[in-house]
Structure formats: structure tokens, C-alpha cells
Structure 1
């Protein structure tokens, strides 16, 4: 930034490029935070999944809508995967497609624009090797963010629907509970203990994912603010990309 700032002639363009680079860095930072959160809480996540697997209802329990929640969770995870992959492919293929388009129209007069206005310690414009290394480095960095985000979102979806399954099963059993039958108070005690256990599991899920949610919110807010500065000072189409 110091070397680039000394050579910059237009302050507005320099600030816009700086904000755009910070926006991209924040998204990569969120990806690394997701990797850190999953790695540091790996044992807790495995223990929680084992506990949920242990109390998972069998097929004979009609109060649990297992196929319904399984289909919903699977559909949401598929939609999230397609959403991330579509934008990942678009984001990383745009510089190469733009370069091919310019080559077909202008011949050898190429702009060599990368994903964002990121500064590299090597020559990018006018150097095929430097341009390829720049595109590759940004592609690898974005793959870390996208991959970790997909894994994190799948874990959140899995744990959320597991808890929803048990909450729905408890409510269904309480509704069908007949207070006129003998021994119903024993079943009610079992339901209360079961409900307390599910609440404890929910607290564990919150403790594990608090760092993920916090880093995602902070990173997204900073990225949106930096992108807005880039949109106001630079090109709307380029910043929107």
C-alpha cells in the first residue's frame, strides 16, 4: 500500500481500489475464521454428532417426521452448494473470459484485469505468467473461503434440523399425551428430562458456532461497507463483480 500510494496520481481511484481489496480480503478472512472454528471445535462437534446420533429416533417412533426434515435439510444444502459454486465459477472465470474476449476483438491489446484491484509483488499487466499467477492465487484463496463456508453452512443446517426434529417430536408427543391414563406423570417426567437434554445440546451448538456467526457478521459488514465505497468511487459494474 505504501509503495502503491506513493505512485498513485488519482486519490479517488486509489481509495476505491484499496476498499475493493479490503472487501475481498474480508471474505477470505471469514473463510479462514470458519476453518479455525471447525478445527478448534472438532472434538466438540464430533461428540455432539455422536450424541445426536445416539438419541436419533428409530423408524417405529411415529411422532418424529424424519423423512420430512431429511428432505428439507438435503434440499437446503443442495441449494447452498449450487449457489456458492455458481458464483465461484463466475467469479474465477470472468478474468479469463474477458481476456479471451479482448483477444478476439482487439488482438494483442489486452487489459489483463484480474478479479479485483489487488496489488501483487510481481508484474501482472503485460506478463502472461504474472497474470496467470495472479488469477491462480485469487482462485485458490477464494476456494478456501467458499469451501469452508459450504462446510460450515452444512454443519449449521445439519445441527439445526436435528434439533428441530427433536423439538417437533416432543411437541407431537405432548399433544397426544392422555392425562386420563395411569402413569402419565412418569411419561411427563421423561419428556421434561428429554426436553432439558435437547436444550443443553442447543446451548452446545450455540457455543460452538458463536465464533462462526460473529466472524461472518463482522466480515460481511466490513466487506459491504468497503464495496459501497468502491461502487461510489470506481466503476459500478466492476465493483459489483
Structure 2
């Protein structure tokens, strides 16, 4: 970008392309952070899921709305999956469709635009093979990033609804607790210990996902700011992409 910037004749398009590149870089950074967080915390995640599985309420316990939270979690994860897949297909098919449209309409020069303004060690503009390799490499890279993002979002959804299920069950048992009965104090002590255990699990969830939340917040904020530069420069195509 430094070499191309010295040769640029128009400042507006160059700044718009630069902001688009920075936005893509920030989203790539978020993807790498998701990969790092899942890989480094794999043992902690497995231990946490195993513990949640052990304390998962059985169907005979009426204080837990297992089916309700299961349906909500599955609905949210399906929506997230469709959201990611729709934009993944759009993002990676747009360069090919644009090139095909330019080829079918006379008077248009083939632009050979890839998904983002990225440098490749081979010739892309004017080469069908180089263009195909460039699009394929970005497609594979974005597939890995989107895959880990979906895994991270599903993990957040799963852990959140697991904790909600237990908190809801504890509150239901406290409401139904009759202090006039014998051994009610023992039941209360069991619920307090159970609540403390759930709070500890919540702290473990926060420790695992704090890095994910922080990196996503920083990366997404910078990406939005960089995209707004393209909007201000009236480069709606790059901003929308």
C-alpha cells in the first residue's frame, strides 16, 4: 500500500481502499483470536462441558424447563448459522458473479476484483488462473474464520443457556420451598451450595470467553469505523461488501 499510495492519483478511492483493507484485516484478527481462544482453552472447555453434563437435570425434575431452553438455544444457533452462511456465500461469490457480468456485457473491461484488496505473490489482474487462485485462497481462509466464529458463537449460546437453565431451576425450587416442612433447612443448604457451584461455573465461563469478547469488541469496532470511511467517501460498494 505504501508503494501504490505514492503512485495514486486520486486520494478518495485510495483512502477508501485502504479503509476497506483495514476493515478486512480487523475481521481477520477477530477470526485469529477465535481460533486462538478455542485452541488454547480446549481443555478448560472440555472440563466445563463435562461438569455441566454431570449436573444437567433429569427429565423427572419438574423445576427445570429443559425443553424450553433447548428450543431457544437451537433456534438462535440456526439463525446464526444461516446468517453466517448467507453472507459467506455472498462475499465469496460476488467477485465471480461480477466478472461473469462484465464478460457477458459488451463495453465493460474485466476488473478481476477479488473479495478484498489483497496483495498476492502472483499475477491476478488479467489472468484467469491467478484470479481463480486468489478467490479460492480467500474463500478457504474465510471458511476457516467463519467456521471458528460459528463454533465460538454456538459455544457462547450453549453455555449461556445452560447457566440460565440452572438459575431458573434454582429460583423455581426456592419459590416452592416450604419452610414449615421438616428438613427444609437442609434443602435450603443444598440449594445454596448448588447456587455457589453454578456461580463458580459462571466465573469459569467468563474466564474462557473474556478474551473472545474483548477481541471481538475491539476488532468489530475498528472494522465498523473503517467501513464508515468508505461510506463517507461515497464508495458504497466497498462499504456494503
- CA offsets 1:112-147 (integer angstroms, 9 cap, x no match): 122223333332221112211221122122112211
- Summarize the Cα distance change of 1:133–1:211 in structure 2 as closer, same or farther, 3 Å threshold: same
Is 1:207 the counterpart of 2:197? The answer is no
Q: Where does residue 78 of structure 2 map in the other structure? A: 78
- Structure 2 distance, partners of 1:85, 1:196, is 39
Q: How many residues align?
A: 241
Shift of 1:234: 5.0
Normalising by structure 2, we get a TM-score of 0.96
Shift of 1:12: 2.3
- Structure 2 distance, partners of 1:89, 1:124, is 21
Contact kept in structure 2, 1:28 and 1:144, CA below 8 Å? no
Contact kept in structure 2, 1:166 and 1:198, CA below 8 Å? yes
Contact kept in structure 2, 1:34 and 1:212, CA below 8 Å? yes
Shift of 1:2: 2.2
- CA offsets 1:184-241 (integer angstroms, 9 cap, x no match): 0000000000000000000000000000000000000110011111222251133212
Q: Where does residue 23 of structure 2 map in the other structure? A: 23
Q: Where does residue 96 of structure 1 map in the other structure? A: 96
Q: Structure 2 unaligned runs (5+)?
A: none
1:106 aligned counterpart, secondary structure: coil
Is 1:52 the counterpart of 2:75? The answer is no
Q: Where does residue 169 of structure 1 map in the other structure? A: 169
Normalising by structure 1, we get a TM-score of 0.96
Structure 1 range deviating more: 43-52 or 139-148: 139-148
Q: Where does residue 67 of structure 1 map in the other structure? A: 67
Q: Where does residue 221 of structure 2 map in the other structure? A: 221
Let me know the Cα RMSD of the aligned residues.
Answer: 1.4
Q: Where does residue 157 of structure 2 map in the other structure? A: 157
Contact kept in structure 1, 2:16 and 2:235, CA below 8 Å? no
- Structure 1 distance, partners of 2:202, 2:6, is 53
Contact kept in structure 1, 2:92 and 2:115, CA below 8 Å? yes
Q: Structure 1 unaligned runs (5+)?
A: none
Contact kept in structure 2, 1:12 and 1:233, CA below 8 Å? yes
